[in-house]
A = this chain, B = another copy of it.
Amino acid sequence: MPIEWAGLGPELLLTLDRSRPEPLRAQLERELREAIRSGRLATGERLPSSRAMATELGVSRGLVLECYSQLQAEGFLVAASGSATRVAAPAVAPAELPPRPAPAGRLAVDFLPGVPDLTSFPRRDWVWALRESCRDATPADLGYGDPRGAASVREVLAGYLRRVRGTAAQPEQIVMCAGFGQGINLVLASLAQAGMRQVAIEDPGDEDYDVICRRLGMEAIPVAVDDRGIDVDALASTGARAVILTPTHQFPTGMALAPDRRQALVAWANERDAIIVEDDYDAEFRYDRDPIGALQGLAPDRVALLGTVSKSLAPALRLGWIIGPPALLEPLTDEKLLSDRGSPTLEQLALAALIRSGRYDRHLRHMRRVYAARRETLIRALAERAPRVALHGLAAGFHAVADLADGAAEPEIVEQARARSVGLYGMSSYRLREPSGPPQLVLGFGNLSGAQVERGIEAIAELLR
């Protein structure tokens, strides 16, 4: 039964309830704090003596005294010795929160690129790996550790990347980080520290780099990408001494950087004393051949490689790594230390356990089959329902580029598809310098079942014709 008390008038209503697990003293403190915050008890107002309030509420006087003393220590009440206890704090009702934009309505089928299959996350393997790591972590592993990450993890990862991505890196060159999102911040901040003022980026590509660069006092310079990857001559004609690239599977065009361009790029980097930032985001999923080795393996002193489990396991793990070229290691480590003192250790140890046990490879093999099947479904559905739409960029990963008919209006198709509850994304939204260009769609199919792919293409086929 709640006791209600309004001894100072109806505006001060205190409610205590003995049937709740919360101790009475905590209830009384909370009620008084809220009465003060809400202005029901105003600044300077006198509270009843502890004896009077104890009698009214049917609690001990000691309880009321403790409660008054607590609220005094917190600055809500003042009590000069011998005089009454009064409300000290100005009444502060928390301001209204700014309204948040309403979340967008859910789409029946969303071809948003960059999202892996979230239903295939290997929950059981991950729990197994976490259990291993919680069991095996030493007390030192649980403290503030090396900002680069646990040494054992960097060793496992260096070996894994050497085997699977053809990299040439010592464990000492690896800095564990919170996914690509943090990794690119750390690398760009290190470049800024090293005095770089211009960073070339791929166009079409990701426009987020522009914001990050500007905040670091640098300029992002878009450089054209064609069907053989970035135009190295155009890159050389800028003053930039750093470039961010997706050489294995360009995002969003889906092309691999051509062999002679790889060589020209490395030659450029050696000549200019430049750094190549390699975003190795989805290289695990190549369908027609083995994945092309990372550029880092070709020029270990010139390349900072960024890898992540966001596509191979799940974005929500926020787990990634940087392979730093020797010259950047010290600033990279300092940046990581300053940013967050290091990434969570148990998840790093879990990733190492997953790799060492072979479960990571097994999961990747499984996902390669899953994505290959979805890719086939997409190719078939388009061939059947919109045969004049050409697809490319499909050698790897889980997005494709669809060429629309000449003169097709990209934004209108995107808008009409949305009215049919299908999310489409036009190439123009990735074009940085020239918003116009041949009309194209970037179709992500990683997080869509085969049935969803079919349904989505069926719903929009007439728009594509």
Contact = CB atoms under 8 A, between A and B. Distances in A.
A78 interface: yes
Nearest to A119: B139
Contacts of A347: 344, 347
A238 interface: no
Contact of A344 (B162, B317, B326, B330): B317
- Which 6 A/B pairs are nearest by Cβ-Cβ distance? A75-B262, A182-B340, A118-B139, A316-B345, A181-B341, A178-B340
A181 B263 contact: no
Interface of A: 22, 26, 29-30, 33-34, 37, 66, 69-70, 72-76, 78, 88-90, 92, 94-98, 100, 115, 118-119, 121, 123, 126-127, 130-131, 134-135, 137, 139-145, 162-163, 166, 168-170, 172-173, 177-179, 181-182, 185, 208, 211-212, 215, 256, 259-260, 262-263, 266-267, 270, 289-290, 292-293, 295, 297-302, 314-319, 325-327, 329-330, 338-347, 447
A329 B98 contact: yes
Contacts of A319: 344
Interface class of chain A by DSSP: helix
A297 B94 CA distance: 10
A347 B115 CA distance: 21
Contact of A314 (B75, B142, B330, B343): B142
A211 B248 CA distance: 38
B70 A292 contact: yes
A184 to B, nearest CB: 10
Nearest to A358: B21
Given A88-B263, A92-B300, A340-B178, A315 B168 contact: no
Contacts of A266: 75, 89-90, 92
A26 B163 contact: yes
Nearest to A121: B142
24 contacts: A29-B166, A66-B289, A69-B289, A74-B292, A74-B293, A75-B263, A75-B266, A76-B298, A88-B259, A94-B168, A94-B326, A95-B327, A97-B173, A97-B326, A97-B329, A100-B172, A123-B134, A123-B135, A178-B341, A179-B341, A185-B340, A212-B338, A315-B341, A318-B345
Contacts of A260: 78
A127 B97 CA distance: 36
Given A37-B168, A317-B346, 16 more contacts: A70-B290, A74-B262, A75-B266, A75-B295, A90-B266, A92-B266, A97-B173, A98-B330, A123-B135, A131-B131, A145-B316, A316-B346, A317-B344, A318-B340, A318-B342, A318-B345
A325 B170 CA distance: 45
